A and B are shown apart, each in its own frame.
Chain A
Amino acid sequence: MDITINKQMVQKNEKEQDFTPVFKINNLNLWYGQDHALKDIKFDIPEKQVTAIIGPSGCGKSTFIKTLNRMVEMVPIVRMSGEIVYREKNIFTPKYGVEELRTQVGMVFQKPNPFPKSIYENVAYGPRIHGIKNKKVLDEVVEKSLRGAAIWDEVKDRLHENAYGLSGGQQQRLCIARCLAIEPDVILMDEPTSALDPISTLKVEELVQELKKDYSIVIVTHNMQQAARISDRTAFFLNGEVVEYTDTSTLFSNPSDKRTEDYITGRFG
């Protein structure tokens, strides 16, 4: 199996790829009951870059990003075929535990979803579930993660207050900090700014630019300007298919598919 993938990879690489892939998606199909939500998805996601997924509502972009950490399996009627290779391992092999995968592939959700706990406990949650009990280590992880999410200065004096007292934008950055605390390899972001005001959105976007130095980021967004501003590569999804996937600058300036052009020029969606 691995050999065939590599052959396909080689062919693809000859055409356009000049990056180290962190995810290789191969003929991924997904059904919700009878509804064929993802059709023969096939592309590679680069390491330490920002990959944006754009497309109209219902095109499968959120479903797709949730397959990358297998959160999509929480929907009971989901069926899948094909494979997603993360760092040389197919994540759908039975041995591959979802818990292990999600430790490497963190996720930031559409709506800020802090736990009803203190700011400190929110960030310390990840390390704690992975068995870290040492208070000094936890303190360090919390500070480092909050700094990493550019929210440390705003919360350092109120670490033990409830996270629900923060504003929406702060909550979302706290969720990013919480995600950083498990020291993931990849960060998935499912429309992370759709519930935020423009200033908070700007802060999160700047943060994404900072984070890509250390993490591979996949971001779903319905905002094309956002994709153009922050991503290195962009995939355009339509009706469960990848219509076009290439450098963000190429996709927005010189799309090769008519449907991509129609979408980014605002003719539909």
Chain B
Amino acid sequence: MALINKESVKKRMGTRLAANGVAKFLFILATCFSLLVLGVLIYRILSEGLPYLSLDFITNFASRMPERAGIWAALLGTIWVMAVTAPVSFILGVGTAIYLEEYAKKNAFTKFVQINISNLAGVPSIVFGLLGLTIFVRLLGLGSSVLAGGLTMSLLILPVIVVASQEAIRTVPREIREASFGMGATKWQTIRRIVFPAALPGILTGTILALSRAVGETAPLLVLGALAYVAFVPENIFSQFTVLPIQLYNWTSRPQEEFHMIAASGIIILLIILLIMNSIAVLIRNKFHKRF
């Protein structure tokens, strides 16, 4: 007595194969749609921006006249802000991750901290801008400086770095920690010489991706009072500044068509910076992949 009717199995075969084909088609379609949008975007930006792209465009300050306008101040502003953000967020983020993974007891408090860090990663960036305005700009009296901007950006990407670092630390096998402890190494020696080096590629990948998010952020810095028109480069961390996305936003909101064109040129520069950062992250990930 057969529980499975071979005849009906045969009959349904056609429908099943058809559904299989349809599913594949739908997924290809979804991929193509996003590729198409990306393609249109890149085409538009390149066709508008390339004609204005030149060395002068990079080395000139912003100007009322489109043909003289450049992104030098914004480019250096971005670099200055990142120079503050990168070390601050790296040290605080990795430190937090190491504490949570290696030292913290697995109790209710740790769980609470953990959940809140994950939640913070989802808080809109403008909220971090308000936080930065209250604490760094007003309370600590830093003003709309590179330092205030960099610190605010650090807070913004901190949760991302913490979570990425925790994941990287967690992938270090228990066996090699045991090997280290088994030889009389202290916890700190084990972390410094074994866990941290082994987790570093993953930590760096996460950090670079988080930084590239910060490079593209506008809202928190606008709230802080970063300037839209700047005709000087920051001299130190207390200087006022602008960054690339703010400069771009400023240009696109002007009525003259030419400014839209140079905004496209600026976008090309921004995209190149982001692509380079992401490529570095991918390179690090591939180079150190599958070591355990």
**A-side contacts of B176, CB under 8 Å:** 113-116
Interfacial residues of chain A within 163-196, with CB under 8 A of chain B in the complex = 164, 175, 178-179, 182
CB within 8 Å of B: which residues of A?
Answer: 69, 71, 74, 76, 98-103, 106-107, 109, 111, 113-116, 125-126, 128-130, 164, 175, 178-179, 182
CA distance A102 to B185 in the complex (A): 8
Q: Closest residue to A175 on the B side, CB-wise? A: B179
Question: Which among B178, B183, B193 is the interface contact of A106 at CB below 8 angstroms?
Answer: B183
Please state if B291 and A182 are interface contacts (CB–CB under 8 Å). no
What is the CA–CA distance of A192 and B106 in the complex, to the nearest angstrom? 31
Residue interface bits B190-210, CB-to-A below 8 A is 1, else 0: 000110011000000000000
Is there an interface contact between A129 and B182, defined as CB atoms closer than 8 Å? Answer: no
Contact B198 A113 (CB under 8 A): no
5 A/B residue pairs, CB under 8 Å, sorted by A: A74-B181, A99-B186, A106-B182, A115-B180, A126-B184
User: In the assembled complex, which residues on chain A have CB atoms less than 8 Å from the CB atom of B178?
Assistant: 71, 74, 109, 113
Give B residues with C-beta under 8 Å from A.
105-106, 173, 175-176, 178-186, 189, 193-194, 197-198, 291-292
User: Knowing A74-B178, A109-B175, A129-B189 touch, does A115 contact B194 (C-beta < 8 A)?
Assistant: yes
Are A125 and B182 in contact, CB atoms less than 8 angstroms apart? no
Report yes or no: B184 in contact with A109, Cβ–Cβ below 8 A: no
**Chain B CB within 10 Å, residue with most, of A99, A107, A113, A126:** A113
Q: A125-B193, A129-B193, A164-B291 are in contact. Are A115 and B179 (CB under 8 A)?
A: yes
- C-alpha gap A175/B179 in the complex (Å): 9
A129 near B179 (CB under 8 angstroms)? Answer: no
A103 touches B184 (CB 8 A): yes
Q: CA–CA, A102 to B144, complex, Å?
A: 55
Chain B residue contacts of A106, Cβ below 8 A: 182-183
Is A109 within 8 A of B179, CB to CB? yes
A102 touches B179 (CB 8 A): no
Q: Which of A100, A107, A116 contacts B291 (CB 8 A)?
A: A116
Residues from chain B with Cβ under 8 Å of A109 in the complex: 175, 178-179, 182
The 5 tightest CB contacts between A and B, nearest first, are A103-B184, A113-B175, A102-B184, A107-B182, A126-B183
A171 to B189, CA, bound (A): 23
- B177, closest chain A residue (CB): A74
Knowing that A100-B184, A115-B180, A125-B180 touch, tell me 12 more A-B residue pairs with CB under 8 angstroms. Answer: A69-B182, A102-B184, A103-B183, A103-B184, A109-B179, A115-B179, A115-B194, A116-B292, A125-B183, A129-B185, A129-B189, A129-B193
The reply to whether A130 and B184 form a contact with Cβ atoms under 8 Å apart is: yes
Closest to A101 in B: B184
- Is there an interface contact between B183 and A179, defined as CB atoms closer than 8 Å? yes
| A113-B178, A116-B176, A129-B189 given; A178·B291 CB < 8 A | no
Least Cβ–Cβ distance between B46 and chain A, in angstroms: 43
Closest to B182 in A: A107
Our pick among B183, B197, B198 for the contact of A102 (Cβ within 8 Å) is B183
Q: Once bound together, how far apart are the Cα atoms of A111 and B183, in whole Å? A: 16
Are B198 and A99 interface neighbours, CB within 8 A? Answer: no
Judging by beta carbons under 8 Å apart, are A71 and B179 in contact? no
Find out whether the CB atom of B291 lies under 8 angstroms from the CB atom of A129. Answer: no
B184 proximity list for chain A (CB < 8 A)? 98-103, 126, 129-130, 182
B213 smallest CB distance to A (angstroms): 29
Chain A nearest CB, measured from B111 CB (Å): 15
Chain B residue numbers with a CB within 8 Å of A100 are: 184
A108 nearest in chain B by CB position: B182
A98: which B residues are within 8 A, CB to CB? 181, 184
Q: CA separation between A72 and B111, bound complex, in Å?
A: 25
A182 and B183: CB pair below 8 A? Answer: yes
